[in-house]
Structure 1
């Protein structure tokens, strides 16, 4: 069989993502801070771009490009009625509290109240070092110890290694450390949890032999083995109860009360406010919408100057094309965020009105199908974006939760609302009726929620709630004192 070479021509269709399409997709998932950093880089590269201040208008200026591409409507009018009370205040707050914050409701919610400067732990320690009568060598050691202080207030460094690196005796380091362990707040510069508690108890003059035994057996305390603790500490039930109250009053991470470095703030990109006549108004925060302008005056001047230079003219035209594309992309990004947020509000209106128990199960596909976009687009839009609601500030991803089946064939329940119900059921327990996970599953079944015992266990453990045996033992201790301990 002979082989021969031949030349064939075939037609084939394929989708290839252009660089500009890839950049448009990337713009969707950028947070507010990341977006401003990105635009700063683009402005540095493109001489035609300018970032307008919030007071600048896009129309009526010789240097700006007017038209639909540079203007967007920040309100979703199909789902909300305009309100006449003015726009809500911008809210900036710590991420750690975004799910428990209250919506702004008066003069007391100014931005400064949320983002005010706070002294850092290392600032606080440096001031105390400066006020302590150290020798020059001791001050050098103190500075090195402070440099190894973690944000929680613990010291994570080998004293022998530190002494070797400073060419001093280890005893000198230990003496400086002993002084710094008296710094405020109590518990700083401890190397273990036991030492942290010991420092605080010593400053309260409460570190007696019984308390020393309790601090030395924190693992036994974590297991809530109170009978063993009574024997180890050599105390009766009443004394042990008092000791445990004192332990609970201590701070296991004394450094956490200070701001750690630069404040990481959350600026909600979406505002949701109730309308006086019913419904919800959804708006984009104008402070999170960068206003890019094209300096047409500069473009005309440079274009005339480079009319005879084809290379320079090509570069200028490319800059204009990129600037127009970026403004259109920002416009599309804002509209997409608004569409996704509006559909989330439509789906979770019961949550906004009645609270977490009414949070509905929701997935990305449901929102994507409703607004006719791809599921991945919704995923990118909800990444690192936040919504200010009357119930607090929430990440957009918070509203997406899996479904728990209903016993009666009705609407499914969201996993988040089920966790909330489990927590509420446990909080309502009495000492005489501490519920097992099977009992909790049965209670949920009575309310129409079908959930297995192992699911209850998984949710309970995720919320750091002890088992029924541990809760019963602890409640007997705290509520009934010594009689409860004897009964256990």
Structure 2
């Protein structure tokens, strides 16, 4: 029998993300600043949305908190003068209010920062050099990193314009003598030598230390330096201090980043004996539906045509979903914040050494949500606590078990390692194996490689590099 087309009914289930659900998921990882900007853009594009005025939003709250004084409690200006009159001398009564001078606007106090490239290019423009040298110098300036180090080799610079070796060397010498001193150096040794040669007074001994014994200098091996150079330990220590005052990254002072201001999403305050998480809604506009446009959907309104009603209905649905999504976002953040306060109560009371290990699944199970939702909530958000301003991700860390079977946060262990190293003798610093024994005496059993891993994450050098020989 030849195949024939036929109809079949098939039942299946699919997970479909509606536009409203997509919008709700999109709002969760946003910070307060990003959400406020997005809401302002929505208000400008959707006529159905409007911001509730601050005066109107606070009217009900102010009415409940403020009580009108009775007639007997009301004080007039004459009553105040009569009451305080005997305490005021004639000079204070007749003293006029000082005039408040108009200050210049804040815009006049702002100044644009100058980058390293602009600073060097400006100095180069004041030099009287030929056009070829100026082009080579500009190419050298363009190949400096943020620290002021030259990242291109002389051969690569020669190939940029088919310049000769001598021309590149002359241009490099000119750039290296520009401010800041030490810029355009090809390595740390050259950077330090350029600065030493520009210092007033004789620094020949310091130059010998940097040029011939840089490794011993990095190891702080002062006795060996004194033996090899035939000088006293005190004299070598004086030269080491001179080198220590030099700037190994002279270009960083012209590459300062703009301050990033953080607005906490949650404030944790203590009321009586309990901590309460309070959402920071001050930076977010309060939205509502515009009543004037809503009247266009009234069936009794004959002035609106079907196209206008369809447009208003579409914008109304979008506005309602946005308002609901914002409210749902705030409720979700509140739930996560309450859960963090519950699990990290000891941290709020006693500090970082009492931070408990915590994972996303624990909080997700506590508030009956998915781990991905909790991850979106804590992303790029901050919480102001009695222990300072903390990123919400800060409270999620793995833990290790001590000798008593209690879980200790990895952050707590890192802080303990930091304090041990801070209290050590610089002449005989603790090795990783020694710190394993110290922590074992405190009932913290860790492997040496774990100590080394945490030390590297704290950006602490090895015991050999921390050792200072006298």
Which TM-score tier does this pair reach, normalised by the shorter chain? Answer: 0.7 to 0.9
Residue number in structure 1 paired with 2:49: 49
1: CA distance, partners of 2:226 / 2:52: 69
> What is the Cα deviation at residue 274 of structure 1?
3.7
How many pairs are equivalent?
A: 418
> What is the Cα deviation at residue 50 of structure 1?
4.2
1: CA distance, partners of 2:427 / 2:225: 24
2: CA distance, partners of 1:150 / 1:378: 39
Residue number in structure 2 paired with 1:18: 18
> What is the Cα deviation at residue 349 of structure 1?
2.4
> What is the Cα deviation at residue 434 of structure 1?
4.1
Provide closer, same or farther for how the CA distance between residues 147 and 315 of structure 1 changes in structure 2, counting only shifts above 3 A: farther
Structure 2 residue corresponding to 1:318, chosen from 314, 318, 323: 314
Residue number in structure 1 paired with 2:435: 440
Aligned pairs for 1:457-468 (under 5 A) are 457-468=452-463
2:261 matches 1:254: no
Residues 118 and 258 in structure 1, CA contact (< 8 A), matched pair in contact too? no
Aligned pairs for 1:124-135 (under 5 A) are 125=119, 129=123, 132=126
Residue number in structure 2 paired with 1:9: 9
Q: Deviations over 1:356-377 (max 9, x none)?
A: 1111111111112222221111
Provide closer, same or farther for how the CA distance between residues 24 and 212 of structure 1 changes in structure 2, counting only shifts above 3 A: farther
**RMSD across aligned C-alpha pairs, in angstroms?**
4.0
Residues 50 and 293 in structure 1, CA contact (< 8 A), matched pair in contact too? yes
> What is the Cα deviation at residue 422 of structure 1?
1.3
> What is the Cα deviation at residue 415 of structure 1?
0.3
Residue number in structure 2 paired with 1:366: 362
2:394 matches 1:398: yes
1: CA distance, partners of 2:129 / 2:49: 57
Q: SS in structure 1 opposite 2:339? A: helix
2:304 matches 1:307: yes
> Which ranges of structure 1 fall in alignment gaps of 5 or more residues?
61-65, 67-111, 482-488
> What is the Cα deviation at residue 330 of structure 1?
1.1
1: CA distance, partners of 2:185 / 2:36: 41
> What is the Cα deviation at residue 229 of structure 1?
5.3
2: CA distance, partners of 1:59 / 1:298: 24
Provide closer, same or farther for how the CA distance between residues 174 and 366 of structure 1 changes in structure 2, counting only shifts above 3 A: same
Provide closer, same or farther for how the CA distance between residues 44 and 156 of structure 1 changes in structure 2, counting only shifts above 3 A: farther
Q: Which has the larger radius of gyration?
A: 2
Provide closer, same or farther for how the CA distance between residues 49 and 13 of structure 1 changes in structure 2, counting only shifts above 3 A: same
Aligned pairs for 1:187-198 (under 5 A) are 187-198=182-193
Residue number in structure 1 paired with 2:383: 387
Residues 293 and 312 in structure 2, CA contact (< 8 A), matched pair in contact too? no
Provide closer, same or farther for how the CA distance between residues 235 and 461 of structure 1 changes in structure 2, counting only shifts above 3 A: farther
2: CA distance, partners of 1:467 / 1:280: 41
Residue number in structure 2 paired with 1:377: 373
1: CA distance, partners of 2:124 / 2:312: 57
TM-score (norm 1): 0.71
> Which ranges of structure 2 fall in alignment gaps of 5 or more residues?
61-105
Q: Deviations over 1:282-304 (max 9, x none)?
A: 32333442433433324546986
2: CA distance, partners of 1:173 / 1:296: 72
Residues 403 and 413 in structure 1, CA contact (< 8 A), matched pair in contact too? yes
> What is the Cα deviation at residue 398 of structure 1?
0.9
Q: SS in structure 2 opposite 1:42? A: helix
Residue number in structure 1 paired with 2:194: 199
Aligned pairs for 1:161-180 (under 5 A) are 178-180=173-175
Residues 211 and 233 in structure 1, CA contact (< 8 A), matched pair in contact too? no
Residues 198 and 207 in structure 1, CA contact (< 8 A), matched pair in contact too? no
TM-score (norm 2): 0.74
2:307 matches 1:280: no
2: CA distance, partners of 1:219 / 1:233: 14
Q: Deviations over 1:57-112 (max 9, x none)?
A: 4488xxxxx9xxxxxxxxxxxxxxxxxxxxxxxxxxxxxxxxxxxxxxxxxxxxx9
Structure 1 residue corresponding to 2:113, chosen from 115, 119, 126: 119
Provide closer, same or farther for how the CA distance between residues 470 and 289 of structure 1 changes in structure 2, counting only shifts above 3 A: same
> What is the Cα deviation at residue 13 of structure 1?
3.4
Greater mean deviation of Cα atoms: 11-20 or 397-406: 11-20
2: CA distance, partners of 1:263 / 1:170: 43
